[in-house]
Chain A
């Protein structure tokens, strides 16, 4: 008896699930770094059916004891180098932004806001979607850096 596997509904779907999966917006949302430096990247994914433009801008932020965060201009003691500050991303494609961060004092933290917008409009309102990528940099180990900053600096529970 010879066997020839030919077709099956469920298996075919499972086989192609992985290539079909795409994170929407930005990934990762939060990154922790240790040993006082950051050399990282984040990826913006365009899940729309038309090209979009993305502009990256860096900010600092603070969090009050009620967990409300406030966006602030970038702390001048934080030095950021981005490979590119904007990009055109085709339909259903993605773009990786790489960066280096050095801080005059540690720990330090900040956020990259990626503002995503579609085609130009001559009349009406242009819509912009903003998604953040937040980084935390500690002097010591990477693991738990965000929790330590939230606890020691912002006085929040872990």
Chain B
């Protein structure tokens, strides 16, 4: 048995008895075609600590991750998987496995690490680390006066060094950030600046370096080797809003190895009433093309879109739309990306964008979304997560009830009032009306809307009252009839609080 397997077994043995005592158990699972990954994880939230266990398959190999995070004196300690990273938008992190200690002061933060470092697999449904070499590192952040934020990081792993510094400055309409240094012994410079002199005018400039691990197979040869490739994307542009008309323009350049590509974009948008119309022109050394979109908001929840593209003398069209409700949110659209690593002739790639999120009862959410890779390829991810309340948490019938989707167009209503024996309104009383839990406001009143005029059961749930104390029901009807909202009679409920 390897040292890693032994470590995993020990952590799992520690986790199993803990799961039955956790305050909240967070369960995640999913699948992604980004790197052919699938897996799941369990997060145990205790009052004073958080335990995380994840396992999955990425690129055909089994990976796992585990960590325990807890407080010790003034420090926040993490044993297991963690990472060091800049909070400034550089996307720079170094994955770690070992012991991480973090301490915060009013304007400073210090993180120390000892253990091993390597590769990081981070998905919404599981995180894993594949370590290669022993190492040590530190991260320090200092908030300076005048909106200046300074941070620096140093990590030594085997023969590779990561040493970088970052600055973030915010002043009036100016927001500037930059980071530079060595990432795994390779130099990089990232930065962005945006300036908004007036509300309707803004400018930006960015430069971002990306590192990729690439499988290379020699032509005519067998086998493959993993090499790291670097790409840098720089952009500059601006936007303006003129009496409902918004205009934007940008210029982009990107390098991938010895290749350099560039492009320019010009666009505009108007929003006459419920319609949004956009048009953009994308230009590169390989020619130009025009995209246009027409989006109409049909109702509060529904909108439809048509996407037109004019390229090489012909028009093509695609259709999309969106639906938004409290249970389900879904959208289909088309976006154009600058992808210097694209395998196609143009660096601009138009890709489909799909997202679907479903809120289920019992704090469960299922999500499906597309991800666009730096080479313009589209991948899919689908995952779900759920929260299970442990024995330390109060649970009850109303707590498990899920909010129905009611709308203002629902014509019928059940109104009610909750009072105590002295006639004083009770705020925060919980009443299960049909399948929906209603809570009373400070006037002791509640209402629930219905589409149909059918009798619904009523149940007072003292164990779910927002008001502290032990409550019991004195009188309440068993059912109520939804009535037209202008003529609804009030359902009267009487409850009493037990005296201590």
Does B464 reach chain A (CB closer than 8 Å)? yes
**Contact mask B390-414 → A, CB, 8 Å, 1/0?**
0001101011011100111010000
Q: Which residues of B have CB within 8 Å of A84?
A: 403, 406, 436, 438, 447-449
Interface residue tally of chain A, by bracket? Answer: 35 or more
Given A6-B214, A7-B35, A95-B403 contact (CB < 8 Å):
yes
Task: Check B439–A11 contact: CB distance below 8 A.
Answer: no
Smallest CB-CB separation from A121: which chain B residue?
Answer: B468
Does B102 reach chain A (CB closer than 8 Å)? no
Q: Which residues of B have CB within 8 Å of A12?
A: 34-35, 120-123
Task: Check A125–B468 contact: CB distance below 8 A.
Answer: yes
Task: Check B402–A90 contact: CB distance below 8 A.
Answer: yes
Task: Check A55–B407 contact: CB distance below 8 A.
Answer: no
Task: Check A10–B92 contact: CB distance below 8 A.
Answer: yes
Q: Which residues of A have CB within 8 Å of B464?
A: 53, 120
**Contact mask B216-229 → A, CB, 8 Å, 1/0?**
11110000001000
Task: Check B119–A9 contact: CB distance below 8 A.
Answer: yes
**Contact mask B141-170 → A, CB, 8 Å, 1/0?**
000000000000000000000000000000
Given A6-B59, A19-B369, A92-B365, A1-B218 contact (CB < 8 Å):
yes
Q: Which residues of A have CB within 8 Å of B215?
A: 3-4, 6
Given A12-B122, A91-B387, A6-B213 contact (CB < 8 Å):
yes
Task: Check A55–B35 contact: CB distance below 8 A.
Answer: no
Does A31 reach chain B (CB closer than 8 Å)? no
Q: Which residues of A have CB within 8 Å of B355?
A: 19
Q: A132 CA to B412 CA in the complex, in Å?
A: 28
Does B26 reach chain A (CB closer than 8 Å)? yes
Q: A100 CA to B381 CA in the complex, in Å?
A: 37
Given A86-B446, A98-B408, A49-B122 contact (CB < 8 Å):
no
Q: A16 CA to B93 CA in the complex, in Å?
A: 14
- Least distance between A151 CB and chain B CB atoms (Å): 16
Q: Which residues of B have CB within 8 Å of A100?
A: 408
Given A53-B466, A100-B408, A41-B399 contact (CB < 8 Å):
no
Given A3-B216, A19-B369, A98-B408, A88-B401 contact (CB < 8 Å):
yes
Q: A85 CA to B91 CA in the complex, in Å?
A: 41
Which of B71-79, B356-364, B472-480 participates in binding chain A? B356-364
Task: Check A7–B408 contact: CB distance below 8 A.
Answer: no
Q: A69 CA to B379 CA in the complex, in Å?
A: 50
Given A3-B216, A98-B408, A50-B365 contact (CB < 8 Å):
no
Q: Which residues 449-493 of B have a CB within 8 angstroms of A?
A: 449, 463-470
Does B115 reach chain A (CB closer than 8 Å)? no
Does A57 reach chain B (CB closer than 8 Å)? yes
Does A87 reach chain B (CB closer than 8 Å)? yes
Given A90-B387, A120-B466, A7-B124 contact (CB < 8 Å):
no
Partner among A1, A2, A90, A96 whose Cβ is within 8 Å of the Cβ of B362: A90
**Contact mask B200-214 → A, CB, 8 Å, 1/0?**
000000000011111
Given A3-B216, A93-B365, A128-B466, A81-B387 contact (CB < 8 Å):
no
Task: Check B449–A83 contact: CB distance below 8 A.
Answer: yes
Q: Which residues of A have CB within 8 Å of B219?
A: 1
Q: Which residues of A have CB within 8 Å of B438?
A: 84-86
- Least distance between A71 CB and chain B CB atoms (Å): 12
Does A124 reach chain B (CB closer than 8 Å)? yes
- Least distance between A58 CB and chain B CB atoms (Å): 9
Query: Known pairs A11-B212, A49-B26. 17 more at Cβ < 8 A?
Result: A5-B375, A6-B215, A7-B59, A9-B95, A11-B373, A12-B121, A39-B300, A49-B24, A49-B387, A57-B441, A84-B447, A86-B437, A86-B446, A90-B362, A93-B363, A100-B408, A126-B466
In the complex, 8 of the A-B residue pairs with CB atoms within 8 angstroms, ordered by the A residue number, are A6-B35, A8-B211, A10-B92, A16-B122, A16-B381, A55-B439, A86-B441, A122-B468
A residues engaging B (CB < 8 A)?
1-16, 19-20, 39, 41, 49-51, 53-57, 81-96, 98-100, 117, 119-126, 128
Shortest Cβ-Cβ A-B pairs, 7 listed: A90-B363, A91-B387, A91-B363, A86-B439, A10-B91, A119-B394, A126-B468
